[in-house]
């Protein structure tokens, strides 16, 4: 049986790193994002060249209607869904001090980074538990959070709060779905080279040069992709709820 993965925001950055790794594992892919399909055609073509079925759904994870349409579209397009990777996320449009930052950015980040994946996972988890009736079925859920779930950055508090909430979301689903045989993992990237960090690349180059990361280099989307592929294979089947850093050692307390 072909295994099918939904990677939210899977057409660039970390999500594309994950999609490439899953395509190499033989997964059929469903990707979603805000852009029109025509804008991501090149990426879809590249992934299809690996041999699997690759579908794109235009959906804003923050919108209830879009999430409903996405899940209905998945049910129509595929026989089942084996892996959900909650990757889509945004940073604040502008970093602002905690004493100045406004509510609009807070509301948007909570909607995209927390409420969207929370309720998308609820819908997918219902479907996965139905699929448990099928012999040999195995569902898996991954949340891509951030070291910002733990590390406090007072110039982007809303991002940190959204990721801390998402970390708890991963824990909640891990407990709820353990009895259904669906492991849930939190993958916690550090500083990864993508469009999201392009605007602050110089700052991070400098801080990495000064020793911020024990492993001394930027993370790449493939670093996250390889880990998600291992989780998808079932290599950590008895580790539901695990929080796995992909951060070059950033989170190791040091003296």
Ligand X SMILES: NC(=O)c1ccc[n+]([C@@H]2O[C@H](COP(=O)([O-])OP(=O)(O)OC[C@H]3O[C@@H](n4cnc5c(N)ncnc54)[C@H](OP(=O)(O)O)[C@@H]3O)[C@@H](O)[C@H]2O)c1
Restricted to residues 108-127, the positions that interact with ligand X (CB under 6 A) are 112
Subset of residues 142 to 161 that bind ligand X, contact rule: CB under 6 A: 144, 146
The span of 26-34, 67-75, 129-137, 209-217 binding ligand X (CB under 6 A) equals: 26-34
Any contact of residue 192 with ligand X (CB under 6 A)? yes
Question: Any idea how long the chain is?
Answer: 255
One of 34, 95, 138, 171 touching ligand X (CB under 6 A): 34
Instruction: Give yes or no for residue 9 binding ligand X (CB under 6 A).
Output: yes
Q: Which of residues 195-214 bind ligand X (CB under 6 A)?
A: 195-197
Compare residues 34 and 176 and give the one whose CB is closer to ligand X.
34
Choices 85-93, 96-104, 128-136, 206-214; region in contact with ligand X by CB under 6 A: 85-93
Residue 245 as a binder of ligand X (CB under 6 A): the answer is no
- Cβ burial of 65 (10 Å; 0-12, 13-18, 19+) is exposed
**Torsion sign (Cα): 175, 177, 179, 181:** negative
Residues 23-54 as b or e (16 or more Cβ within 10 Å = b)? bebebbbbbbbbeeeeebeebbeebeebebeb
Among the residue ranges 59-67, 130-138, 168-176, 205-213, the one whose residues contact ligand X (CB under 6 A): 59-67
Place of tokens 């059929």: 28
- State how far the Cα of 245 lies from the Cα of 247, in Å rounded to an integer: 6
Least gap, CB of 117 to ligand X (angstroms): 9
Interface pick for ligand X out of 191, 208, 243, 244 (rule CB under 6 A): 191
Q: How far is the CB of 104 from ligand X (least distance, A)?
A: 15
Which DSSP string corresponds to 25-92?
TT-EEEEEESS-GGGGHHHHHHHHTTTS-EEEEE--TT-HHHHHHHHHHHHHH-S---EEEE------
Please indicate whether residue 137 is annotated as part of the active site.
no
Q: Which residue stretch of 54-62, 93-101, 129-137, 225-233 sits at the interface with ligand X (rule: CB under 6 A)?
A: 54-62
Report d(CA 208, CA 204) in Å as an integer.
6
Among 77, 90, 123, 236, binds ligand X (CB under 6 A): 90
Largest alpha-carbon pair distance within the chain? Answer: 55
- Cβ neighbours around 101 below 10 Å, total: 18
Rg (alpha carbons) of the chain, rounded to whole number = 18
Nearest in space to 160 (alpha carbons), one of 95, 249, 217: 95
Catalytic residue (choose from 56, 118, 159, 185): 159
Q: Which of 3, 13, 182, 183 binds ligand X (CB under 6 A)?
A: 13
Active site residue ranges:
159
Q: Which residue ranges make up the site for ligand X (CB under 6 A)?
A: 8-9, 11-15, 32-35, 60-62, 87-90, 112, 144, 146, 189, 191-192, 194-197
């Amino acid at each position: 049986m072909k295994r099918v993965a939904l990677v939210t925001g899977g057409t660039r950055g970390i999500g594309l790193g994950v999609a490439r790794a899953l395509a190499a594992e033989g997964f059929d892919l469903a990707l979603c994002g805000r852009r029109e399909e025509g804008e991501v055609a090149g990426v879809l073509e590249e992934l299809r060249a690996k041999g699997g079925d690759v579908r794109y759904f235009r959906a804003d994870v923050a919108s209830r209607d879009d999430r409903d349409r996405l899940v209905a579209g998945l049910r129509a397009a595929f026989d089942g869904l084996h892996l959900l990777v909650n990757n889509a996320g945004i940073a604040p449009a502008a970093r602002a001090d905690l004493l100045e930052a406004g509510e609009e950015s807070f509301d948007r980040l909570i909607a995209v980074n927390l409420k969207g994946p929370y309720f998308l996972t609820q819908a997918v988890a219902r479907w996965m538990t139905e699929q448990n009736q099928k012999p040999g079925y195995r569902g898996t859920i991954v949340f891509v959070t951030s070291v910002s779930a733990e590390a406090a950055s007072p110039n982007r508090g809303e991002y940190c709060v959204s990721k801390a909430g998402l970390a708890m979301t991963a824990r909640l689903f891990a407990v709820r779905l353990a009895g259904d045989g669906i492991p849930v993992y939190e993958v916690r990237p550090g500083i990864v080279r993508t469009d999201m960090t392009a605007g602050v690349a110089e700052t991070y180059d400098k801080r990495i040069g000064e020793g911020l990361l024990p492993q001394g280099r930027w993370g790449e989307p493939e670093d996250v992709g390889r880990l998600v592929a291992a989780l998808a294979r079932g290599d950590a089947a008895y580790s539901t709820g695990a929080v796995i850093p992909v951060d070059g050692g950033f989170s190791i307390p040091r003296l």
